[in-house]
Structure formats: C-alpha cells, structure tokens
Amino acid sequence: MTEHARLNPAVTITRQWWHSSTVYQIYPRSFADSNGDGIGDIPGIISKLDYLEKLGIDLIWLSPIYASPMDDNGYDISNYQDIAPEFGTLDDFWELLAKAKERGIGIVLDLVVNHTSDEHDWFLQARKGRNNQFRDFYIWRDPGPDGGPPNDLQSIFGGSAWELDPSSGQYYLHLFSRRQPDLNWENEGVRRAVYDMMNWWLDRGIAGFRMDVIDLIGKQPDKQITADGPHLHDYIQEMHRETLRHRDALTVGETWSVTPDSALLYSGRERHELSMVFQFEHVTQRWDEVFGKWRSKPFDLVALKAVFSKWQQALAEDGWNSLFWGNHDLPRAVSRYGEDGEFRVPSAKTLATVLHMMRGTPYVYQGEEIGMTNASFTSIEQYKDIETLNMHRLHLAAGLSPQDFIAGAHMNSRDNARTPMPWTDAPHGGFTTGTPWIEANGNVGSINAAAAVDDDQSVFHHYRKLITLRKTHDVIVYGRYQSYLDQHPEVFLYTRTLGGDRVTVLANLSKAPVVVELPGEIVTGGEALVWTHQPISSLEQTVSLRPWESFCILTRT
C-alpha cells in the first residue's frame, strides 16, 4: 500500500488487506491437467501461476482438493488433511502454496464442514452402530410413524434428505447427496475436530477459507429448519475464537439465505465472525418460484440494479460485500447476464466493469476473465454433474420432456461452468493431452487464454486493468456508492465518492444503441479509467452509447 493510501484521511474504517484484493476461483478438476489423465490437478495449477500473476489477482480460492470419492467432485470429503490422488499429493500442495506466495498470491481453501463423505472415517465408524463413539457426529433419527423417513425434508439435489441405514434401522440426514451425510454441529466433538483441522491448515500458511453452505450448520431438522438455525452465529463466533482470532485470514461464507440484516451479523466489524459472505439475490432473482433454476424468468435490469444497489447501501457503514457474477455452480456470466454471440467481448467487459467498480471484494471465476461461455451440450450423456443428473431423473419421471430438460440445463446446469479451461487452440483447448473428464466447449479455437493474453483489446486485459485500478485507487475500494436512473431499463449509472475523488460508471447493458439524458450532477470531466470501445473523459448532458458500451471516469477536485 502506498504512503498516500495509508494516510488518506477520507478512509474512516480500519483497512483490511482483503479490502483491495481480488480473488480468483479455481475449480481444480477443470483448470489444467499435467499428466494426461483428463483431470485437472495441482501441478497443472502450479504451471499456470505465471498467467495468474499476469492477471494480477491476490488470492486463489481453490474448490476442494481433499481426499474424496468424488460423488460431488470433491464437495464430499473423506479426509480433510490429505489430497485426492487425482489432484496430487500434500507435497504438491505445499509447493503450490510456496510458489504462489513467491508471487504474492495467497491460497484460500474450501471449508466443507456442513457434511462429509460417507467414506470419511467418522461416518464409517458412526454407521457401525448406535453405541459407536462417532455415532453422534451425524444426525440420526428413528423412522416416522409410517415406518418411512422421519419427516419430509428434501435434499437440495432431489429426493428425501433422509437415508435409511439398514443395519441400525435409523435414518441419517443428508441435505445434499446421500453420500454427503450432514455433520451434527450440536456435538462439541464435531466442532473441536473441525477447529483443529482448520488450525492445521492455517498454521501451514493458507490465507483463509471459503465456507461451503455455512448458513446450514445450525440446522434443526426436527423443526425442518435448515438455514439460519438458532445457534448458527454462536457456532461461527466460537469458530472465530478457536481458529481465526489472532490471525489475519480472509473468510467468506457461502450463504444462500443471507439478507442485508444477517449479512451484518456475519460480517459486522464487532461481530468476530467472517470477513464477508456471498449473497445470491442477483442469481435467484431470475429463478422461477416453483421450478427454481430449471425454469428462469427474463432478464430485468431494473430489478438487477435494485438488488446491487440495495446491497451496496446495506453494507455501506459496516460489514463488507463480496462481488461475483459466477462460480462453479452457476452459469457463465457472459451467457447469463451478457450476450455470448456478437457482443460477447463488450458485454463481458461491461459486466466486469459494473461489478468491479462496486464496493466489496471481487471474485473472478476461472475462464470468466477470457469471456468463456456456457456449455452447449445437446444430450444428457454429456452432463456429469450429480445435481443435473438427479434432476434429470426426477423431472423426467414427473413428466418433463427431455428437450425441455436440456433447455433448462443449457441455461443453468452447474456443468456450464465446469468445462475445461481453454489454454490454447489445441484439441480440448490444450487442457489435457488425453481425454477430458467433461467435454471442452466447441469454441476453444477462438476463446482461449493464449489468444486473450496476446490481444491487448481482450477481455483478459480488461480484467487485468480493473484488478490493478482497485490497488491504486482508494475511491474504488472505499468510496460511497450512489446510483442514478434506477428505472432505466438499459443503462446502469452509478458513482463512487471518496474525499475529492469521484468515479462515474456509465454502462449500456443491452444490445441496442441507447441515447441517455444524464442527471445534471453527472455531467463531468476527468480521466478515462476504463472503457469498452474508446476512452471517454467527459460527459455531456446527452450521451450516445453503443451496444454494451461502458466506461468509467475519475474526477478529482
């Protein structure tokens, strides 16, 4: 941090290092394969550190690399202190940690402690019988009065959340697949074991944790409470006391249930819980009330802007936002919110600009920085994701046509984000010399990292610029957010203000040209910071924007 930045009197909150950081998410299975077995691995990630350094990111969030039978691609962990053989060894991981650190990049691990794999030793013990010392590490119930499941709690991947264990006659709870039994957080032994494991990793120098479905750990299954259970925040505060206190880690909770009020509980400065959480309102806003993400509503920019503005305002004084368009569970940003045909490049850049100029810590999902698009699979055989395959079975049994299902999967299957990262225009995008575990996109010939790095007008270089600007401009990190033209159906306009600095962000989020009348106070001049089509350094009352055109101007007084 520069001397100027540290002393900037306009910054009134205590600076945290992760306020100006950008996080890059890696889904290891699909990132880079070093040995031709078709599965991305840790040596593959090490070989791409130069690329990540060039992009300028500060942290890598690694989706799970732990030992796992891979029922849910590693979100089912059988040993928290070992690495899945297809990803490498612990030594490979230490090498990644050290080599990333040499480049100023920290590693954030995925903490998946709502559940384990059914092959975790705790569960293997627990299912030995009611008197086993690990029995209570999981959630067991006797059958309901009719002999079936104890109640009708549903698994997020479809079907009952209860699975019968024939040998004991009891059911265990699994909010995800039946191979992901839920841990019983009411048991102090579970909590102790998790904290010991977290300390083991933190002591070895990782930079923090992304906490998988952390809002579910306080569940009360008998009352059918899953998210936001009564002791949720007690557990997170205890976790903080036992692991994070006296450390300077970044923590981000995955919380589908969070509201602006509860975000302040998780991330408020005096709360001693987490650095920030992921909120998903901009994601679920386009989901159907009944069919969820498998049937989506049309894009509504006015509503989308309202969501972002609400979160920007809600966490303006306390708490901290995380900023993201996509992750390994969600569609590709440019396909979902932008336009992945003719306007792929400007729309990917504009989406990046409007997000990265907000207040919060941005997260870039692998491939987003080169404008990767959704998978274009045409048959169910091409899909690999357990959720997609389960839903296919259930929805077809309920009468949905195969074509309608594929249409839904095109939009929202988790596999959209899991196709191999294309590094070159070689077969499979150069991701592997073998056969990839999931097919590469058909467009790797033109959308690949090598082409993006070589082209200074690419989406990649736009991201690089945005990431750098956050490091050099306090106003982007700490400035007050103010939106304008909230009812405009195509244009997103907001400012960020800190002391005498003001950044104006103006974006056309549509594929039609727009002529927009600006509010008087926006008419301004200054320095062009970032743009899609051409640098703009002043704004008149009436502005013409090309399809998906956007830019930012810095005004200093």
8 Å CB contact between 64 and 80: no
Binding to ligand ISL, residues 275-334 (CB under 6 A)? 293, 328-329
Supply the DSSP string of 463-500, one letter for each residue. HHHHHHHHHH-HHHHHPEEEEE-TT-SSEEEEEEEETT
Number of residues binding to Ca ion, judged by CB under 5 A:
5
Q: Which is nearer to Ca ion, 33 or 368 (CB)?
A: 33
5 binds ligand ISL per the rule CB under 6 A: no
- Name which of 61, 87, 60, 59 is nearest 73 in CA terms: 87
**Using CA atoms, how far apart are residues 29 and 84, in angstroms rounded to an integer?**
11
**Using CA atoms, how far apart are residues 371 and 333, in angstroms rounded to an integer?**
8
Closest CB 121 distance from ligand ISL, rounded Å: 19
Beta-carbon count within 10 A of 500 CB: 10
Q: Which is nearer to Ca ion, 40 or 526 (CB)?
A: 40
Binds 293, which of ligand ISL, Ca ion, none (CB < 5 to 8 A, cut-off by type)? ligand ISL
Cα dihedral sign for 189, 194, 195, 197?
A: positive
> Which residues are CB-neighbours of 173 under 8 A, at least 6 positions away?
138, 139, 140, 141, 153, 161, 162, 181, 182, 221
User: Contact letters (x/-) for ligand ISL, 172-211, by CB under 6 A?
Assistant: ----x-----------------------------------
Task: Locate 95 and state its tokens.
Answer: 């090498």
Binds 71, which of Ca ion, ligand ISL, none (CB < 5 to 8 A, cut-off by type)? none
Residue corresponding to tokens 């225009």: 425
Closest CB 448 distance from ligand ISL, rounded Å: 25
Q: How many CA atoms does the CB half-sphere of 370 hold within 13 Å? A: 25
Closest CB 308 distance from ligand ISL, rounded Å: 20
From residue 238, alpha-carbon distances to 194, 233, 244 in Å are 11, 8, 10
Closest CB 283 distance from ligand ISL, rounded Å: 8
Q: Which is nearer to ligand ISL, 438 or 552 (CB)?
A: 438
**Using CA atoms, how far apart are residues 460 and 448, in angstroms rounded to an integer?**
10
**Using CA atoms, how far apart are residues 330 and 326, in angstroms rounded to an integer?**
5
Number of residues binding to ligand ISL, judged by CB under 6 A:
14
Binding to ligand ISL, residues 112-141 (CB under 6 A)? 112
- Name which of 340, 482, 260, 369 is nearest 22 in CA terms: 369
Binds 33, which of ligand ISL, Ca ion, none (CB < 5 to 8 A, cut-off by type)? Ca ion
Closest CB 284 distance from ligand ISL, rounded Å: 8
Closest CB 50 distance from Ca ion, rounded Å: 19
CA angle 250, 253, 259 (to 5 degrees): 125
Q: Which of 254, 339, 415, 549 is catalytic?
A: 254
Task: Locate 134 and state its tokens.
Answer: 């690990």
Q: Is 212 a catalytic residue?
A: yes
Residue 211's H or E segment, with its range, is strand 208-211
8 Å CB contact between 526 and 555: yes
Q: Is 254 a catalytic residue?
A: yes
Task: Locate 336 and state its tokens.
Answer: 């979902």
Options 31, 61, 75, 93; binder of ligand ISL; rule CB under 6 A: 75
Binds 118, which of Ca ion, ligand ISL, none (CB < 5 to 8 A, cut-off by type)? none
385 binds ligand ISL per the rule CB under 6 A: no
213 binds ligand ISL per the rule CB under 6 A: yes
Closest CB 132 distance from ligand ISL, rounded Å: 25
**Using CA atoms, how far apart are residues 19 and 359, in angstroms rounded to an integer?**
9
8 Å CB contact between 162 and 172: yes
Q: Which is nearer to Ca ion, 87 or 134 (CB)?
A: 87
**Using CA atoms, how far apart are residues 89 and 67, in angstroms rounded to an integer?**
10
212 binds ligand ISL per the rule CB under 6 A: yes
User: Contact letters (x/-) for Ca ion, 14-43, by CB under 5 A?
Assistant: -------------------x-x-x-x-x--
Q: Which is nearer to ligand ISL, 41 or 72 (CB)?
A: 72
Q: Which is nearer to Ca ion, 40 or 229 (CB)?
A: 40
User: Contact letters (x/-) for ligand ISL, 401-420, by CB under 6 A?
Assistant: -------------x------
118 binds Ca ion per the rule CB under 5 A: no
Q: Which of 58, 182, 212, 385 is catalytic?
A: 212
User: Contact letters (x/-) for Ca ion, 170-189, by CB under 5 A?
Assistant: --------------------
Beta-carbon count within 10 A of 144 CB: 13
Closest residue to Ca ion, Cβ-based? 41
Binds 41, which of ligand ISL, Ca ion, none (CB < 5 to 8 A, cut-off by type)? Ca ion
Residues that bind Ca ion (CB under 5 A): 33, 35, 37, 39, 41
Residues that bind ligand ISL (CB under 6 A): 72, 75, 112, 156, 176, 212-213, 254, 256, 293, 328-329, 387, 414
Give the residue numbers annotated as catalytic, written as ranges.
212, 254
